[in-house]
Amino acid sequence: MQIDCYISVRCGSEEALKKNIYSALELESVHATVNFHRIDDEEAARLGLKGSPSVFVNGQEIQPLEAGGFS
């Protein structure tokens, strides 16, 4: 499993996100490669992200949001 997390440079949720992801993986006994990417608004727009954090599992966003978070 591949997990990619995209976080705005202004977002303060990285530590909580890491804790939640690693706790869930341990609880479910699942192995995953987890990457955390700190990105700016331009990169978020290029990737089409709508919020921060944006989490993708195997290339699929797990909670697509309509509300913005990068601008």
Long-range contacts, stretch 12-17, CB < 8 angstroms, 24+ apart: 13/52, 13/53, 14/38, 14/53, 17/53, 17/55
Could you list the mean pLDDT of each consecutive 10-residue stretch along the chain, which spans 71 residues? 96 95 98 97 92 94 64 47
Half-sphere exposure for 34 (CA within 13 Å, toward CB): 17
What gap in Å lies between CA 59 and CA 71, rounded to an integer? 23
pTM of the entire structure? 0.84
What's residue 69's pLDDT?
A: 53
